[in-house]
Amino acid sequence: MKYDQARWTDDSEDRYEPLLSEKASKTVDIEDSSLPDDLTRDNLSLPDPAEPELARHYTRLSQMNYGVESGPFPLGSCTMKYNPSFTEDVAARADAAIHPGRPDSTVQGTLALCHRLQDYLGRIGGMDAVTLQPPAGAAGEFTGIQIAKAYHEHNDDERSEVVIPDSAHGTNFATAAMAGYEVVELPSGDDGRVDIEALEAAVGDDTAALMLTNPNTLGLFERDIEHIADIVHDAGGLLYYDGANLNALLGRARPGDMGFDVMHYNVHKTFATPHGGGGPGAGPVGVREELAQFLPNPHVRERGGNYEHYEPDHSIGKVHGFYGNWPVLLKTFAYIARLGDEGLRDASAKAVLNANYLAEQIEYEVPFGPFHHEFVASAGEQDAADAAKRMLDYGVHPPTTKWPEIVDEALMTEPTEGETRRSLDQLAAAFNAVASDSDAELADAPSRPAAKRIDQATAARNPRLSWQALDDT
C-alpha cells in the first residue's frame, strides 16, 4: 500500500497538507524604513512558519511525491535513471560556489573542469566543439538553431524553413518557430521512420535544417541516416541532432559520425543529473569544426596551461545570462568520470536490454521495432490516460501517454538501465494487470494514492494559480 500516504489516520480531514499560508501567516507593515516612504511598499503578507513547522511541511510534501528512488519511473523520452548521490556532494562543494563576475585568472579550476567536460562531450558525440551554456534541452535546441541561422546568414544564404518529423519532441517545433522559421512537418513512413520520399519532397533551397532524434521517439534507429544526411546537405541545409535519446547509443554510434552538424546533449537524461521536479537540467551543444565560430559567447579554451574565456569570431551571442547551469554541469562531469568508456557503454547496453525485455513481457501490442532505449505500446481499446492512472494503483509510475501520436493510445515506455530484472517483472505485471482491468476500474483510478483522479478541465476553465485566488472562490 505504497501510496496510501496516510498520516495518523487514513480518513482524517487533514490527510492533505494545508498550504503554508493556512498554517502560519503574517502581515508586516513597512515602517521606519531607512528608505523614504515613496520608495517602499506598504506591507508584506507571507507565511511565517517556525523552522520545525517548515521542516514538517516540506517533509510531508515530499512524501506526497514520486521520484526515481520511490520506484520504477518509465516515463518515455525522459530517461528517469538513478541519480548517483555522490554527484550531489560534488556540486555542493564550497569551492564550487563562486561568483560569475570573477576574473578568469581566479577561476582556473572551474574553467579547467568546463574545458575537460567540453572535451568529454565532444568525444561522446563525435563533435569538434561544445558549449556548456544552454540551461536545458530546449535551450540547447534554440542555441543550435540560432547557430544554423548564423551559419546561413554568414554565407548570405536566406533560408526560411526547418523540417521536423511528426514524431519529434514538441520542443523542436516550438524552437524553430521561436527562431523565426516556418516549420515543415514530415509525416513518418509506415515503418515509423523518416519517409525518404517525403523528405526529398520537403527539403529544398529554403531548408535551413532538419531536426532529428535518433533513435527516434519510437525507439527506432534511423537506418537511412547517411542518406538522410546527404539529402539535407545536398540541399545546403544542416542536420540537427536532438540528444534526448542519446542514452540509447553511448559508444555504439555518434551523431558526428552519422553526419549531424549540430547537436544538444540532455545531461539530465543521458548523464544522470537529477530532474528536480521539472528542472534544472542542462543542454550543452556540440558542433562541427566549421560551426565553432558561431558558438555562444564566451567559450572556454586552453592557452599554455591556462584557461580563458573568449568570444568566438561570429558568435551568436548569449543564451544564458552567465555561463549556464554550473552545478548541473559539475554533476555531469562527475558522472562521466565515474563511468568512463566502459560504464557509459554498459549504461546504454542495459538501457536497451531493459526496454526490449520489458516490451517482450507486456501484453499490450507493441508496434514497430527493433527497439533501443524505449518502445511505444498501444493501450488499444483502452484510453491510455486512464490506463496510466490505473498503473498508479499498482504502485509504479506510468509511462508517457498519448504521444507520439503515430501510435494509437500510446504508452511510451523507457525503463532505463537502472532497473533489475525483478523490478522489470513487477513493472510488466502492473502493465498486464491494467491491460485486463475493466473500463470502469480504469475510469475510477487511481484509488490508492492520497489524491484521487484530479479534475484537469476545471483547473483550466477556472484558473486558480495562487492562494490569493483561492480566497475568491
Partner 1 sequence: MSNSNSHATGSPYAPQTAAETAAMLDAVGADDLESLFDVPESVAFDGEFGIDARSERAARREVAGLLGRNADLTEFLGRGHYDHYVPSVVDDLASRSEFLTSYTQYQPEVAQGFLQALFEFQSMLVELTGLGVANCSMYDDATALGEAATLSQRVRSVSGDQILVPEHLREGKRAVLSNYADGPDLTVESYPMTDGVVDVPALADQIGDATAMVYAESPTVRGVIEERLGAIGNLAHDHEALFCLGSDPIALSLLERPADVGADVVVGDAASLGTGTAYGFGLGMFVTREEYLRQVPGRLVGASEDAADRRAYTLTLQTREQHIRKERATSNICTNQAWVALRTAMHAAWLGPDGLVELAEDCVTRARDLADRLDDIVGVKAPIHGRHHFREFLARTDQPASAIVADLAAEGFAVHAVDDHLVQVCVTETTADATDEFVAAFREVAK
Write out the binding residues for partner 1, residues 241-280 only, by CB under 8 A.
Answer: 249, 251-254, 257-258, 266, 268, 272, 274-280
Provide the greatest CA pair distance for the chain: 74
Of 156 and 455, which CB lies nearer to partner 1 in the complex structure? 455
Angle between helices 326-361 and 108-125 (to 10 degrees): 30
As measured in angstroms, the least distance from the Cβ of 361 to partner 1 is 8
As measured in angstroms, the least distance from the Cβ of 237 to partner 1 is 18
Of 42 and 197, which CB lies nearer to partner 1 in the complex structure? 42
**Which residues ranging from 69 to 108 are in contact with partner 1 (CB under 8 A)?**
69-70, 73, 75, 78, 80-84, 86, 88-90, 92-93, 95-103, 105-108
- Pull the grid cell for residue 66: 514520486
Of 118 and 266, which CB lies nearer to partner 1 in the complex structure? 266
Q: Which of 130, 142, 186, 376 binds partner 1 (CB under 8 A)?
A: 142
- Own/partner long-range contacts of 304-312 (Cβ < 8 Å, ≥24 apart): 306/105, 306/108, 307/104, 307/108, 307/111, 307/112, 307/114, 307/115, 308/104, 308/111, 309/104, 309/111
Of 187 and 276, which CB lies nearer to partner 1 in the complex structure? 276
In angstroms, the CA 304 to CA 132 distance is 22
In angstroms, the CA 438 to CA 444 distance is 10
Of 207 and 400, which CB lies nearer to partner 1 in the complex structure? 400
Asked if 392 interacts with partner 1 (CB under 8 A), we say: yes
Residue 382 DSSP one-character state: S
Of 9 and 456, which CB lies nearer to partner 1 in the complex structure? 456
In angstroms, the CA 199 to CA 105 distance is 50
Q: Is the dihedral of CA 305, 308, 314, 317 positive or negative?
A: positive
As measured in angstroms, the least distance from the Cβ of 45 to partner 1 is 6
Of 199-207, 234-242, 385-393, 431-439: span binding partner 1 (CB under 8 A): 385-393
Residue 377 Cα to chain centre, angstroms: 21
Asked if 6 interacts with partner 1 (CB under 8 A), we say: no
Q: Which of 258, 281, 42, 285 is nearest to 147 (CA)?
A: 285
Residue span 302-341 as binding mask against partner 1, x where in contact by CB under 8 A, dash where not:
--------------xxxxxxxxxxxxx-x--xx-xxxxxx
Of 57 and 299, which CB lies nearer to partner 1 in the complex structure? 57
As measured in angstroms, the least distance from the Cβ of 308 to partner 1 is 14
- Pull the grid cell for residue 175: 524552437
Residue span 27-56 as binding mask against partner 1, x where in contact by CB under 8 A, dash where not:
xx-x--xxxx-xxxxx-xxxxxx-x--xx-
Q: What is the total count of residues that contact partner 1 (CB under 8 A)?
A: 200
**Which residues ranging from 410 to 469 are in contact with partner 1 (CB under 8 A)?**
417-421, 444, 446, 449-456, 458-460, 463-469
Of all helices (H) and strands (E), which one includes residue 392? helix 384-393
Asked if 397 interacts with partner 1 (CB under 8 A), we say: yes
Q: Kindly report the number of other CB atoms within 10 A of residue 392's CB atom.
A: 22
The residue assigned the cell 485566488 is 469
Q: Is 285 helix (H, G, I), strand (E, B) or coil?
A: strand
**Which residues ranging from 342 to 381 are in contact with partner 1 (CB under 8 A)?**
342-347, 349-354, 356-357, 360-361, 370, 372
In angstroms, the CA 140 to CA 246 distance is 14
As measured in angstroms, the least distance from the Cβ of 390 to partner 1 is 11
Q: Which of 110, 131, 167, 245 binds partner 1 (CB under 8 A)?
A: 110
